[in-house]
Structure 1
Amino acid sequence: MSRWAVRHPLVALIAWVAVLIGLVGASTALKPAYDNSFALPGSQSQIAQDLLQELPASAAPNVTMQVVWSPTNGTVEAAAVRKSIDPLMKKLSTLDGVECVIGPYEKNYGKNCPAVSPRDLSAAIVAAVTKKLGITEKQLAQLLAAIPKLYPIAKANGDELAEIATVLAWLAKADATQWAAIAKALPGDVAKLREAVDAANKIWDTYVPAGQAAIDATSPISKNKTVAYATVTFDGTAPGVVEATNIQNLILDANTPALTIGASGSALAAAGATPDSSEVIGLLVAIIILLIAFGSLIAAGLPIVVALTGLVGGLLLVGVASNVLNIASFAPTLAMMIGLGVGIDYALFIMNRYKQGIDDLEPKEAAIKAVSTAGRAVLFAGSTVIVALLGMFVLGIAFFNGLAVAAAATVLMVMLSALWMLPALLSLLGHKTMGIRMPWARHPKVVDLDESKWSKYGALLQRKPLIPAVLSLVFIGVLAAPALSLQLGFPDNGTQPPGSLLRNSFELMNKGYGPGSGGEFFVAVKLKTPRDISELSTVVKALEETPGVASTLPNSKFVILLKGSKSAFSPDGTVTSVIVQPTTDPQSEATAQTLDRIREVTAPKVSDAATIYVGGTQAVATDFTAMLQSKLPLFLLLVIGLGFLALMMLFHSLVIPLTAAVTSLVSFAGALGITVAVFQNGTLSSLLGVYGTGPILPFLPVMVFAILFGLSMDYQVFLVSRMQEEWHASGDNRTAVRRGLAGSGRVVVIAATIMASVFISFIPTTNPTIKLFGIALGSAVLIDAFIVRLILVPSVMTLVGRSNWWLPGWLNKILPKITLD
């Protein structure tokens, strides 16, 4: 394909543009449909989620926002606090899409609000009865006190009743005959009255306290009255960027020195989202590096143009794929980060080889030479990255599949751009490829390879190769040490910037409702008998008694209220839910222990009444870790094994692929250690814009390893392929290593610097997931290229000697001969 592009450049460019137009058409017809769902098939948390989907409440619109506030001094019930918060509630209720603002002060705002929930159920019942009867509370109290005085009438005889009737008739100036008839019926009526009153008292004693317990458990005012919240419901459509940002600014502006206000919820998902300029920064750095490397404006611009063109095609392909696979919303940004880095590097390798040949060959010949050598290396390297990424399919997790396809599709398109578009451009431009030279490149000096600085550097390493090898391993070991305390999980809003709405909300809810308020477990309860309250009560009581549990919803005081409820149970009545709040924060090890206790101790205890499954963020993280541990060996075996086989066929060696595989793991350990140190331990967090510590996203280590393994194979191929050339020419291992390093070290440094710059340029982003990947991948490339490939590998290869190039004879005969020259 590359040779064809060189020989028929115009046709090749037209065909390439046609491919891009086709992708534009497909992307327009099939609009991107990104999905952030994180499913773990067969796990307990997934079973819990699936069961909870059966509940009627799961079908309700879930676009909501919770506004939380707390005064610096005093309580939230103070008149000054109410006066400060009331205008905000009114403003929120008038915004487009807002249905209701359900406040904590027995007052709602909006066009479609439910009835106000009373804070004192007994008082609310009394008020309703007096209004219905048209009497005062005092009169109702007198009536209730007088009713028991009628009870003796039920035991009175006929003569006593006649006397009573006469007295009543006289008092009422009524007909005695009429009162006598009434009197005869009094004993039975009074008996019925007593039964009714006794039944009412029983109901009152049972349900009113239960109702009050339900109100207290779900109160929007904390028990210590220092924190309150309002729930804002929307019409089902999440606010867009502009609307969500306006809501955010409205709430931020309502904060005062005397009142702290925060907010959280799906309605704020798009708030503050602005076009990310990270890729622009990365491109500027890449252009500067390329200008220094090539000394030509056109030569520096070509890799950028080629990479951007391939990147556009890759992102269009990702959008189309999102209609088939579950691809997360951050996947395009991650794919952009990876695609931009490898795209520039791939074009750089081909351009560098073209530059080396343009002085001695005709442009088309130099282009064919470049694609026949560096082009093959790019094809091999890109294929390795794609295979490593697609290896995540063996994990059997749809979320990983989507990320893998997004990244692999982008790498594929930038690789095709380098192997298709770039050769055509080189053929068309000819000598103009190196045009518009920079001042420092107008009189280039020709330096003999053995006299170059890189050759001298290689000789320095080879004087005492054991020392640089050990020092590099020790250095990476120090960087990797924090990885020993790796904790996988989903960070909470405590990692958001101080003063932000999400951070304020998180801290205020912890203050008012306890540290476990942001990390509840969602327990799906599968009853043995449909709608059986006694079975549900058994489960609730057992959960309440579990050490580490702060509260449950429902709790044992008001679970009786669910009797006969349709909304609390699935249509067949066998599934319901219990929300469990732990006593510790979501990131605490104690919370994980509480989860294990519920699953391993509480669940068996209630098995006669129901089967319970625990879900929630912490549960998902725990289940993911367990699933990953079970499938990680297969993933590593597949990715590393395929990489080993590919390098063995390429170099006809056992030691070189083994060295590549082991050193890739070393680089990964160092990068993971840096990531843990920054995001989990807080090292240099303020410098890097990380505002809070927390666990590492469960999918990051696997993603980083897959990407890094592919990239490290790239550098290994470009470095060792040149060493292999020198080995075939000289037959001396030390000379091969030194001259190979001298011939390829510079381009590896340039490529790695560009790629690391692109990754690091994404660190300032406000997206915490992309920031995490930026630091992890940026540090991984720096460690792998500058320490592993340029210090450790040459030192180890020097120590190993001729064995680097050894392969059993029988194996050498059956392996295909693959050359990059």
Structure 2
Amino acid sequence: MAGLLYRLGRFSARRRWTVIIAWVVIIALAGVGFSLFKGPVSSSISIPGTATEKVTDELAAKFPKASGGSGSLVFATTSGDAFTDAQEKGVSDLLDRIDGYSGVRATTDPFATQKQLDDQEQKVVDGRKQIADAKTKIAQAQAQLDAGKKQLDAGQAQLDAAKAQAEAAGQLAAAQAQLAAQQAQIDAQQKTIDQGQATIDANTKKLETQSTTLENGSKLLDLSSNIRFVSKDGSAAVGSVQFQKATIAVPQTLKTKVVDAADDSGISGVKVYVSNDIAQGVPSIVGPGEVIGLIVAAIVLLVMLGTIIGAGLPLLSAVVGLGASVLGAMAFSGLVEFNSVTTVLGIMLGLAVGIDYSLFILNRHRSQLKQGMGLHESIGLANGTSGNAVVFAGTTVIVALLALNITGIPFLGLMGTVGAVAVAVAILVAISFTPAMLSIVGMRILRKKERGSIGNTASTRVPNKPMSTLRAIITIVVGVAVLGTIALPAMQMRLGLPDGASEATDSSQYLAFKTVEKKFGAGQNGPLLVVADLPQKVSGDSLTEVEIAVGQKIRAQDHVSAVAPIGASTDGTVVAFQVIPTGGPSSVSTEDLVHALRDLPGVSTPSGKATLGVAGNASAQIDVSENLAKVLPLYLVVVVGLSLIILILVFRSFLVPLTATAGFVLSLLATFGGLTAIYQWGWLDAVFGVHDPGPILSFLPIIEVGVLFGLAMDYQLFLVSGMREAFAHGAPAKIAVQRGLRAGRPVVTAAAIIMMSVFAGFIFSESSTIRPIGFGLAFGVLVDAFVVRMLLIPAAMHLLGASAWWFPKWLDRILPDVDVEGAKLERHEPEGAAEHVHGAHAARTTA
């Protein structure tokens, strides 16, 4: 590989314009592909096969009216007073317009809906009064009827007595006509009484039916009593927009159209805020923070290299690689569903490693030029040695990113693939475009003073004294203690997805979220959709009884504020409910409620045992976070195992890989601790703009593992390979540690600062999704590069001494020889440049 890269470097130097034009053509083709084949970008994050998705699919098949996603429009008067009639009409007109958009199933007018609820409550009150009055009248009629019965019974008794007397006196035949007439009169009166009783019984039965219906309606109203569409003070209202597709499948163009309609509502004295379900769009990648990060990187390069040309070349290489990789990847967005954060990782890494990899080659080239090596020979050798290390280091990052596909989570695998493509392109740019640019720049890559002293091989003294053992012990003890302390908050880390509360405080999503929370309760920001599957069809009164039975069972659970039946499927076997939790969508209580509802045994109903499923945006977020948490240990094991294998192969040692991996785990846990303390607990919230602490972004830990592993191996490679080389050239093990550290420290320091600057620029992004990613990567690089790689690893290597490099001879013969630093290339002294090669080697080991 080193020889191939050497030849590629010389070719790029000789055919510099061919190489540069080739990259321009590649970027142009990527741009054309992007413009022709780009597709819509989704702002939602989903994982197929979750419990939420199964319920959503069932609703789509059996109950389409309840299957579509939804979002809210929140209306608030600027004065804080109740809405006027004109303002209410403006709100209704806006929702009517949105209702006509293609892809929108229906909208809910908050004022009309609230009036219906209020009217229903009043109907219950009025109905109860009417029933009570009717019962009183029936009781009075029954009393009158009972009195008539009593009189009639007395008359019948008298008639019977008269018959008996007439019969005893032998006068029955003579009195028969009179007695018959009296009996006919009594029978007629009895018939009237029986008819009256039948009427009373019918009215009583009818009243009982009405009372049952009324009380059932009252029970349903009681279950949903905490659901409001207009606040109690009348100053805020919530209208809903139901889409024909699930929220994750709603086109961004439709969401944007709804947002634009809200922004242009023109309702005097009313602010219109759009919820996160609708307003969350594709975040802007480039902002003030990102620009500042690049400026800091440029300053670091200028200080290190001393020339504007030298500082600009790595930045230019990074931009070239970024343009080719991002445009090329986005050209496939028409074939594969891209999430709004899919390219974020690629952009972050493309910028950071693009600068660093170019810097590694450029720095080696400068050292060789100062030793008197010829321009093209120096470019070729720098490409064959440092370029070889770049290829290997970059490959570890690529492998770690591609390993994200083993999680089985599509959006995460795609994010890792796009990131891997960005790193691969950055490598290709570094080993081809950078040599071509170095050829154009020529000797101007050196400062004027450096050009005047070319060939002067005087250098600083090579370290011949190791660090003290006591210092090494103290460094390890203090370093591990500090990192362990920082990592402690990670024990309480919760995973979740951002909601409206995590958006910028002046954003529509945040204001919508906070208005609902203040006026209606936190739970109305994250309603759940609960589905009851029934063993047999229900309808009519049976459906109402089922709704009451299931609704009361749900309402009896902890953390439930309200339950509202939505209806039943056409086949009558699925009944849906809207459940309002007491907590917000990202709260622990809502998560507990989702699990409690899913874990309920069959709910007894008149139709048999009903099983419950849960869906909705809040439920989907919980499922995504839990699935990501489940695959994190597997991914960590794969990455750590991979690191051990790679490092054993590179360093021909067991203890060096173990210390490197232990250091990686330490830096990773410390990074998790920092993320938890700042973004979940709210420490230093004013510094990092964390106004509403919440769970850690659910896919961030996996991203951290993949990226930090790759970068940690980069720094390990550039530092420890120098120690190995010094030891192999006969230096005592402990002195070799100092020599390797001194040789690699300047370039690793600069590379780490640049990497941190680029990542840190994203900390102040407008997107709540991107901010913690930027912090996690920047903080992870800080900890790993400056604490683990430059302090703990040298101290551990010092204490291990020569045993650090022990390796079985039989295994050494079996394993392939990975010449990471291109030492074989130096020994072969290509194209007769022996004196220059040895001079360059001396410069690198004493820099």
Partner of 1:719 in structure 2? Answer: 719
CA spacing shift, 1:728–1:211, aligned 2, 3 Å: same
CA spacing shift, 1:277–1:190, aligned 2, 3 Å: farther
Residue 402 of structure 1 deviates from its aligned partner by 1.9
- Write the distance in 2 (CA, Å) between the matches of 1:754 and 1:706: 19
Residue 618 of structure 1 deviates from its aligned partner by 5.3
After the TM superposition, which residues 246-325 of structure 1 pair with which residues of structure 2 at under 5 Å, given as runs?
A: 247-248=262-263, 254=269, 262-270=273-281, 276-325=287-336
Q: Is the 8 A contact 2:73 2:272 kept in 1?
A: no
**Percent of aligned positions that are identical:** 29
1:589 pairs with 2:588: yes
- Write the distance in 1 (CA, Å) between the matches of 2:66 and 2:586: 30
- Write the distance in 1 (CA, Å) between the matches of 2:56 and 2:492: 29
TM-score by length of 2: 0.77
One-letter code aligned to 1:707 = V
Partner of 2:811 in structure 1? Answer: 811
Residue 48 of structure 1 deviates from its aligned partner by 2.6
Partner of 2:490 in structure 1? Answer: 483
Residue 477 of structure 1 deviates from its aligned partner by 1.5
2:41 aligned counterpart, secondary structure: coil
Aligned match of 2:84 in 79, 82, 85? 82
1:692 pairs with 2:696: no
Deviation readout 1:296-355 (Å, 9 max, x if unpaired): 222211111111111111112321343444432122233211211111111111111111
Partner of 2:478 in structure 1? Answer: 471
- Write the distance in 2 (CA, Å) between the matches of 1:274 and 1:317: 17
Partner of 2:844 in structure 1? Answer: none
- Write the distance in 2 (CA, Å) between the matches of 1:252 and 1:649: 69
Residue 392 of structure 1 deviates from its aligned partner by 1.7
- Write the distance in 1 (CA, Å) between the matches of 2:124 and 2:614: 37
Deviates more, 1:41-50 or 1:239-248: 239-248
Q: Is the 8 A contact 1:40 1:397 kept in 2?
A: yes
After the TM superposition, which residues 607-626 of structure 1 pair with which residues of structure 2 at under 5 Å, given as runs?
A: 609-616=609-616, 619-620=619-620, 622-624=622-624, 626=626
Q: Is the 8 A contact 1:241 1:273 kept in 2?
A: no
Partner of 2:575 in structure 1? Answer: 576
Aligned match of 1:346 in 335, 340, 357? 357
Q: Is the 8 A contact 2:369 2:454 kept in 1?
A: no
- Write the distance in 2 (CA, Å) between the matches of 1:476 and 1:799: 20
CA spacing shift, 1:418–1:198, aligned 2, 3 Å: farther
2:709 aligned counterpart, secondary structure: helix
Which runs of 5 or more structure 2 residues have no equivalent in the other structure?
Answer: 149-191, 245-250, 823-847
After the TM superposition, which residues 74-473 of structure 1 pair with which residues of structure 2 at under 5 Å, given as runs?
A: 81-82=83-84, 85-86=87-88, 89=91, 92=94, 103-106=109-112, 117=116, 119-121=118-120, 204-207=210-213, 217=224, 220-221=228-229, 224-225=232-233, 228-231=236-239, 233=241, 238=253, 244=259, 247-248=262-263, 254=269, 262-270=273-281, 276-359=287-370, 360-432=372-444, 434=445, 437=447, 451=461, 459=466, 464-473=471-480
Aligned match of 1:16 in 13, 16, 23? 23
Deviation readout 1:232-266 (Å, 9 max, x if unpaired): 659987567698478458799947xxxx9754254
Q: Is the 8 A contact 1:5 1:12 kept in 2?
A: no
Deviation readout 1:750-809 (Å, 9 max, x if unpaired): 000000000111111110111011111110001111111111111111111112211111
Q: Is the 8 A contact 1:54 1:575 kept in 2?
A: no
TM-score by length of 1: 0.79
Q: CA RMSD in A?
A: 4.5
1:464 aligned counterpart, secondary structure: helix
- Write the distance in 1 (CA, Å) between the matches of 2:617 and 2:116: 30
1:663 aligned counterpart, secondary structure: helix
Q: Is the 8 A contact 2:74 2:516 kept in 1?
A: no
- Write the distance in 1 (CA, Å) between the matches of 2:579 and 2:622: 16
Residue 729 of structure 1 deviates from its aligned partner by 1.3
Aligned match of 1:49 in 35, 53, 56? 56
- Write the distance in 1 (CA, Å) between the matches of 2:733 and 2:407: 40
Q: Is the 8 A contact 2:52 2:616 kept in 1?
A: yes
Residue 633 of structure 1 deviates from its aligned partner by 3.7
Which runs of 5 or more structure 1 residues have no equivalent in the other structure?
Answer: 109-115, 128-137, 157-185, 555-561
Partner of 1:704 in structure 2? Answer: 704
- Write the distance in 1 (CA, Å) between the matches of 2:231 and 2:289: 45
- Write the distance in 2 (CA, Å) between the matches of 1:716 and 1:618: 42
Deviation readout 1:354-412 (Å, 9 max, x if unpaired): 11112321111111111111111111111111111111222211121122112112112
Count of residues paired in the alignment: 749
Q: Is the 8 A contact 1:251 1:262 kept in 2?
A: no
- Write the distance in 1 (CA, Å) between the matches of 2:609 and 2:619: 23
Residue 189 of structure 1 deviates from its aligned partner by 13
Residue 461 of structure 1 deviates from its aligned partner by 6.6
- Write the distance in 2 (CA, Å) between the matches of 1:10 and 1:546: 72
Residue 515 of structure 1 deviates from its aligned partner by 3.4
- Write the distance in 1 (CA, Å) between the matches of 2:492 and 2:563: 32
Deviation readout 1:515-541 (Å, 9 max, x if unpaired): 332333332322211347355544333
2:323 aligned counterpart, secondary structure: helix
- Write the distance in 2 (CA, Å) between the matches of 1:373 and 1:628: 39
Residue 615 of structure 1 deviates from its aligned partner by 3.4
CA spacing shift, 1:621–1:87, aligned 2, 3 Å: closer
One-letter code aligned to 2:364 = R
- Answer with 1 or 2: which has the greater Rg: 2
Deviation readout 1:144-181 (Å, 9 max, x if unpaired): x99x99xx99xx9xxxxxxxxxxxxxxxxxxxxxxxxx
CA spacing shift, 1:737–1:528, aligned 2, 3 Å: same
Q: Is the 8 A contact 1:535 1:610 kept in 2?
A: no
CA spacing shift, 1:118–1:577, aligned 2, 3 Å: closer
Partner of 2:681 in structure 1? Answer: 681
